[in-house]
Amino acid sequence: MTWVFIITFALLCLAALLVLVRLLRGRSTLDRIVAVDVFVTLVVAATCVGMGWQKNGENIALLAAFALLGFIGSVVAARLVEKKESYR
């Protein structure tokens, strides 16, 4: 079962690297906002995989709060960008 956690964690790290590339090379502000939201989701997923590997579920409330904070931040940033930029 350990190899499942290792493979999952490696794939999440690869996805995080690709998201960071998208964050740095994004063409518009909305691309960067989506990249930050996906990165927050990947951090939460990687932390969940780590908790499953260690069989320790003490940080579930903290992860839920972090995911909610990331979601609210993305929604607020998208609303601000929507008001500033015109539609293409």
Question: Any idea of the CA torsion for 41, 47, 6, 42, to the nearest 10 degrees?
Answer: 10
- How do residues 30-40 score in pLDDT, each as one tens digit? 888 888 889 99
Query: Residue 73: is it exposed, middle or buried by C-beta count within 10 angstroms (0-12/13-18/19+)?
Result: middle
Answer whether 14's CB lies under 8 Å from 39's CB: no
* Tally of structural domains, the chain: 1
pTM of the complete model? 0.81
Rg (CA), the chain: 16
CA atoms within 13 A on the CB side of 43: 17
User: Which residue range(s) make up the domain with 32?
Assistant: 1-86
pLDDT in tens, 47-68: 999 898 988 888 888 889 988 9
